[in-house]
Structure 1
Amino acid sequence: MKEKLIYGIQQIGIGVKNADIAFKWYATKLGADALIFDDSNEATYMAKYMGGKPRKKRALLGLNMQGGGGYEIWQYTNRKPSKPENEFKVGDLGIQFPFVKTNNITATYNRLKISNENILSEIKKDPSGVKCFFLKDPFDNILKIKEHTSFYQNKKIDVGGIFGAAIGVSNIDVSLKLYKDVLGYDKVIFDKTDNFDDLENLKNGSKRFRRILLTHSKKRVGGFSKFFGTSEIELIQCLENEPTKIFKNRYWGDLGYIHLCFDVKILKVLKEECKQKEVPFQVISQPSFNMGDANGHWGYIEDNDGTLIEFIETNKVPLIKNLGIHINLKNRNPKKPLPNWMIKAMALKRVKI
């Protein structure tokens, strides 16, 4: 019997006003300069999350070739995206911030400080004892820069891609049914209830929370699993105030973190499992869907609080468009990882800025 495979966190979606400016920042400051696709068309499948009708958009996917998930920079082209009704507070329902891996946190901190980026805290340790600090991009999105040992390759830049995210939930125990049982984050790194020093520089961060940090006990195998590496999910639950939904009264694609995306295989098996676990797919594309020059099969579910989780079964990744050279994943052994030369060939997609 075929089984689902989760290769890792592929990307986090970020709604922005100007995709070119956003891509440039993530490429130059966080090394995500491999432009995997640049897609401008009408988003039709997600109409239920966009006011009930298709919307024109532009989406760019940038990867850091040192490994980890990327950034899907997403911009409406026929409407002005709206910002949150209220300023983000720790514990609000939705994606709080991604985890960006660094192999030298002091170097990363100093480099960003010298370039006058908006650093929100000094280097501290989170409850797992790992050094981290918080950064705000020019578009008001918070990122957690955190030490990590799983790098696909080490180049000159001190940061890699995304290896996790913190998600605000109303009830951790209920949310674990999805994040642990379906997504496979079954290993608890910590589960603590307290006031936390590492959050105190963020709005609402001095309050008391329950926080649980999860990773996967089983090593991811196949496809791009070596490139994406190990990953973590942190669930944060408010205990002293009523959280608000970050995307309350707004559309998918409006400003902020719009989804967390996992690279998967055997999507139809995952779809059936999600249905059985009472987190059914809300949206699913046709089996062969073009995303710019890339191609795949994708769908979305909602967690218990409405946060959107995307799954993509990638069929094709373009390398050199004019020559028709691409990575074909459709008929490969799903448990066999891509060879290193093939993954490193994606460096051909790097953009000089």
Structure 2
Amino acid sequence: MQKVISGIQQIGIGIPDVHEAWRWYRLNFGMNIPVFEEAATAKLMVPYTGGSPQSRHAVLAINLQGGGGFEIWQFTSRKPQPPAFPIQLGDYGIFATKIKSHDVAATYQLFKKRGLDVLSAPQLAPCGQLQFFLRDPYNNLFQVVPGNAWFKKNKNLTGGSGGCMLGVSNIEKARALYSGILGYDNVVYDQTDIFNDLATLPGGQIACRRVLLRHSQPRQGSFSRLLGPSEIELIQVRDRTASKIYQNRYWGDLGFIHLCYDIVGMQALEQECRAKGFPFTINSSQSFEMGEAAGHFAYIEDPDGTLIEFVETHRIPIFKKIGWYLNLKNRSPEKALPDWMLKTLSFSQVKD
């Protein structure tokens, strides 16, 4: 079986209070559908947690308008640690998460009215589209960008995640992974300059090279219509020495901890990753329980150590109240699930 990438399943976010953060993400980003909620010990992640298993409480929440979800993480066995230095544009790792919007200007006005920490008015990116940045209460940066694909529209202005902005040390080396394996083969722009739309960001006042990548082929697989298209923007700075965002910290500490893709064909993917110089560093090897859901997961590192997770979903709850769970093991790997089936996830919506 060949690999199939359905899209960005979720962005992992390490925070100090899982339920407080989830409420903020529900109210402002519409992340109100829980796929799972679980308190457990992350036994397999010891290479990234100081060599000892750490306990955590996690919620995977999605916005049914489409896009990637958030895996909201809180350590319960230790106090999650912030970066030892102020993160700047170009530091190695996930710098900002992109949030899809029906109307960027209207979303800006709404967030300003709510008193959110918006960094500037909407600015034109090099691709000619309006975008703006804001911080959540936990110092995480989000970039609100136009969305061009939606699953189940509602009155909310925003959908889920549409990608990430990542700092890298060498864009060509990074593209071996992001273009060569993850399929972001379309270069929307590749420019080096001091950019007005980045000027209000920490470190955004110096020149950088930025490359926006999209995938030319539509995503396939069970959740492809829900997760939708995404983009990756690589940032490389040359006039300062960048730092690794998670240097001397644990996976699960405060910030964006990983970028996760929903896939089918884990064995083929593992062979491809190894052949191209990105071997699996974590591999659950079989179906792994995640609250009400189950799947096979694995991790690799990009050339700068940023963690990329792959999840082959085996079971998800469709309507937990009546015990309806969907088994995905025997489905055609390229075929998308029927829209009506995924829309029943709305029965689990958390209302504030």
Alignment TM class, shorter chain as reference = over 0.9
Cα drift, residue 186 of structure 1: 0.5
Corresponding residue number in structure 2 for 1:134: 133
Corresponding residue number in structure 1 for 2:298: 299
SS at match of 2:44: coil
State the distance in 1 between where 2:78 and 2:63 align.
30
Corresponding residue number in structure 2 for 1:66: 65
Corresponding residue number in structure 2 for 1:37: 36
- Segments of 5+ residues of structure 1 without an aligned counterpart are none
- C-alpha contact 1:94 1:305 (8 A) present in aligned 2: yes
Give matches, 1:230-245, under 5 Å. Answer: 230-245=229-244
Alignment of 1:289 with 2:288, yes or no, is yes
Corresponding residue number in structure 1 for 2:313: 314
- C-alpha contact 1:327 1:342 (8 A) present in aligned 2: no
Give matches, 1:178-327, under 5 Å. Answer: 178-327=177-326
- Segments of 5+ residues of structure 2 without an aligned counterpart are none
The one-character-per-residue Cα deviations of 1:271-317 (angstroms, maximum 9, x if unpaired) are 11100001000001131101111000000000000000000000111
SS at match of 1:218: coil
Corresponding residue number in structure 2 for 1:117: 116
Corresponding residue number in structure 2 for 1:93: 92
AA of the residue aligned to 1:89: Q
State the distance in 1 between where 2:75 and 2:98 align.
25
The one-character-per-residue Cα deviations of 1:66-100 (angstroms, maximum 9, x if unpaired) are 00001100010010010001011000000011110
Corresponding residue number in structure 2 for 1:332: 331
State the distance in 2 between where 1:222 and 1:304 align.
27
Cα drift, residue 326 of structure 1: 1.4
- C-alpha contact 2:132 2:145 (8 A) present in aligned 1: yes
Corresponding residue number in structure 1 for 2:8: 9
- Aligned-residue identity in percent: 45
State the distance in 2 between where 1:125 and 1:312 align.
34
Cα drift, residue 147 of structure 1: 1.0
State the distance in 1 between where 2:203 and 2:66 align.
32
State the distance in 2 between where 1:326 and 1:108 align.
35
State the distance in 2 between where 1:63 and 1:275 align.
31
SS at match of 2:65: coil
State the distance in 2 between where 1:244 and 1:145 align.
25
State the distance in 2 between where 1:55 and 1:323 align.
33
What is the TM-score with the length of structure 2 in the denominator? 0.99
Cα drift, residue 322 of structure 1: 4.4
Cα drift, residue 109 of structure 1: 0.9
Corresponding residue number in structure 2 for 1:79: 78
Aligned length: 352
AA of the residue aligned to 1:195: I
Q: Could you list the runs of 4 or more consecutive aligned residues of structure 1 that deviate by over 4 angstroms after TM superposition?
A: none
State the distance in 1 between where 2:240 and 2:98 align.
25
How large is the Cα RMSD of the aligned pairs? 0.8
AA of the residue aligned to 1:126: A
AA of the residue aligned to 1:145: V
Cα drift, residue 49 of structure 1: 0.4
Cα drift, residue 149 of structure 1: 1.2
- C-alpha contact 2:221 2:264 (8 A) present in aligned 1: no
State the distance in 1 between where 2:175 and 2:105 align.
34
